[in-house]
A = this chain, B = another copy of it.
């Protein structure tokens, strides 16, 4: 490293990118924000002002040549992840790559191989693994609070209205990828096993504007799964919901049950005759997971500086992609899909 702090370049300065950038600019120890890479000039300049930063690159490849950049945070549309991550690895940069990791298992394999070949850290952005409430829940289960895990239910419903490219499932892999990647990873984390078979149903209920051109698009999905170790899982997801950001986990055990997450946000409740008791819902994943992102970014820096493995590996990212694809196949074929056992046997 050029300095005693890890120099970080964030690639993609949209809303999610800014969260990481703000963290590296002052909230993460032993790191500093060195630059951003963002093709849109207006976005880039606004981000620099916001971040009190003076260096931005229109093309991420320029950042690859910047010696002050030790690590890259990839926050671009999914379709670009593979190329950027492989190039970054080849340039010797450590990588924190947002979810979903890539479009296909093959892309994931290429990314993992590149990181291994170049001996750089590759961490995938499942920040719930760093959220205090999820971590506490996992600890409680490890301590036996609910006996053995039987069923893991995870849901994520978000208010975001899809961008046009997201209506095309072939380009976005759909809400299962964009939204429920987190839930898929959470199920793997809490079952400590791999998906064995999935069955999913989906439909477009809230986005009539997409119905004609994108008949495969869905904005509501339910998926049920069995795991290799015999446990059960279920996921539901939605986009364009009009009530807030809703991310909750429920784990049923042989001896109890555990809940993570609340829909209410502020701790302020008003009660009057016309409304009854009323409290605001969580508005956005940005409010809900602010601190989780910070811990995730810190965890990445620590893994790089300490030479320890990242908490969320390329393999974790790849397995989620695989489940997304199986879920989408189940939706299309209206039948359960069994996941390829060969690859699962590679887990251990």
List the B side residues contacting A136 at CB < 8 Å. Answer: 266, 268, 280
- List which A144-165 residues lie within 8 A (CB) of chain B: 145-148, 150-151, 153, 157
Complex Cα distance, B149 from A314, in Å, reads 38
| A105 within 8 A of partner (CB) | no
List the B side residues contacting A272 at CB < 8 Å. Answer: 145-147, 242-243, 253, 255-257
The 8 Å CB contact of A220, one of B151, B242, B263, is B151
What's the minimum C-beta distance from A186 to chain B, rounded to whole angstroms?
Answer: 13
Who on chain B is nearest to A259 by CB? Answer: B269
| A58 within 8 A of partner (CB) | no
- List which A241-281 residues lie within 8 A (CB) of chain B: 241-244, 246, 252-264, 266-273, 275-281
- Asked if residues A243 and B267 are in contact (CB atoms below 8 Å), the reply is no
| A215 within 8 A of partner (CB) | no
Complex Cα distance, B27 from A29, in Å, reads 12
What's the minimum C-beta distance from A241 to chain B, rounded to whole angstroms?
Answer: 7
Complex Cα distance, B133 from A255, in Å, reads 26
- Asked if residues A255 and B242 are in contact (CB atoms below 8 Å), the reply is yes
Complex Cα distance, B260 from A249, in Å, reads 17
Interface 0/1 of A199-237, CB less than 8 Å to B: 101010110000000000000101111100010101010
Knowing A153-B236, A199-B224, A243-B257 touch, does A280 contact B273 (C-beta < 8 A)? no
- Asked if residues B270 and A277 are in contact (CB atoms below 8 Å), the reply is no
What's the minimum C-beta distance from A254 to chain B, rounded to whole angstroms?
Answer: 5
- Asked if residues B279 and A256 are in contact (CB atoms below 8 Å), the reply is no
Knowing A222-B224, A236-B153, A281-B271 touch, does A133 contact B243 (C-beta < 8 A)? no
Interface 0/1 of A119-151, CB less than 8 Å to B: 000000000000011001100100001111011
List the B side residues contacting A52 at CB < 8 Å. Answer: 29
The 8 Å CB contact of A236, one of B197, B201, B234, is B234
| A26 within 8 A of partner (CB) | yes
- Asked if residues A277 and B276 are in contact (CB atoms below 8 Å), the reply is no
Knowing A224-B201, A264-B277, A276-B279 touch, does A151 contact B236 (C-beta < 8 A)? yes
Knowing A26-B26, A151-B222, A205-B148 touch, does A256 contact B236 (C-beta < 8 A)? no
The 8 Å CB contact of A260, one of B27, B254, B260, B268, is B268
Complex Cα distance, B279 from A279, in Å, reads 9
| A77 within 8 A of partner (CB) | no
| A335 within 8 A of partner (CB) | yes
List the B side residues contacting A261 at CB < 8 Å. Answer: 267
- Asked if residues A277 and B260 are in contact (CB atoms below 8 Å), the reply is no
| A334 within 8 A of partner (CB) | yes
What's the minimum C-beta distance from A288 to chain B, rounded to whole angstroms?
Answer: 10
- Asked if residues B336 and A206 are in contact (CB atoms below 8 Å), the reply is no
| A238 within 8 A of partner (CB) | yes
List the B side residues contacting A234 at CB < 8 Å. Answer: 222, 224, 234, 236
| Most chain B C-beta atoms within 10 Å of own C-beta, residue among A252, A268, A336 | A268
- Asked if residues B150 and A205 are in contact (CB atoms below 8 Å), the reply is yes
Taking A26-B27, A150-B238, A334-B336 as known contacts, 8 extra A-B pairs with beta carbons closer than 8 A to each other, sorted by chain A number, are A136-B266, A145-B270, A151-B220, A222-B234, A244-B271, A261-B267, A275-B275, A276-B280
Q: Considering the complex of A and B, which 3 residue pairs feature the smallest CB-CB distances, nearest first?
A: A26-B26, A256-B272, A276-B280
